[in-house]
Amino acid sequence: MLSAALFGVIGSSALVLGGILGSYWHPPRWVTGVLLAFASGTLISALAFELFPDAVELAGVAPSAGGLFVGAATFVVINAWLDSRVAAGAGDPGEVAAPERAAESLAGAEAKQTEKLEHAADGTRPGGPSGSAVGFALLAAVTLDGVPENTALGVSLLANAEAGITAGSIALLFAIFASNFPEALVGAVAMRAADRSPGFAIGIWSAAALLLTAAVIVGYGLLSGVDETALGFALAFAGGAVLASLADTLMPEAFERGRPASALATAVGFLISFVLAEGL
């Protein structure tokens, strides 16, 4: 349990660091795109060489495949629901006093996380979202991909409990840290653009860090003592959610922001995570 708590704190500390940096610095779009692309590469490698292989070893191919698809579907359903809640709170795009491109993107479930942050954080904008429901939906939206990642880290530590802290677990921790940092950085920049104070942005991301640290501990403690098939299914479920978050959030934003360097950054992230996973 101590190792799970330690890994949770290390991985989630990137949210606090990114929140602090984004509260006082507005990086160029290409910088955040490259960081997101690098994070995508690390997560792809961790999923391919740590999460899913461990799941198959524990539960077999069929249960792991089922867990993968159930996890991906769960992420898609919840994320679409959260998008629709934030979009509904934003009101009709024709009535929102906001830039045309941002208003149109908020009209449906395709709203990007950074745009959700800009609009949901600004409760004073006419026709904009307000109330605790939208604020909660916002916080859930920006941490949704982090919960399965951190839960997977806890499950991974549990699955390898007899071997202790393995190279694969370290690679997954590195991947989570690398993905948390740019997400918090971009999120804090968006909050500051909506005239929120640095303290507000840092507080939100610190709260998210506590949530994701708890996810690691829950992933480790809740599944302690279950049989290998259930453990493998849980690991595959978390992997499916991570894969969905990559396809739905991280990689599209990395591609939009970081071209043309995003492809190379993804490759670098993949290679570093692979080297760590293999203990080379």
Q: What are the pLDDT digits (tens) for 23-33?
A: 898 888 889 88
Q: Please calculate the CA angle 74-91-116 and round it to the nearest 5 degrees.
A: 50
Give the pLDDT confidence of 84-131 residue by residue, as tens digits: 766 665 554 444 444 444 334 333 333 455 454 444 444 444 444 433
CA gap 66, 53 in Å, rounded: 14
Nearest CA-CA partner of 211 in 150, 134, 120, 169: 150
280 has a pLDDT exceeding 80 = no
Sequence ranges of the domains in the chain: 2-278
Two tokens, residue 146: 């982090």
Task: Please give the span between the terminal C-alpha atoms of the chain, in angstroms, as a whole number.
Answer: 27
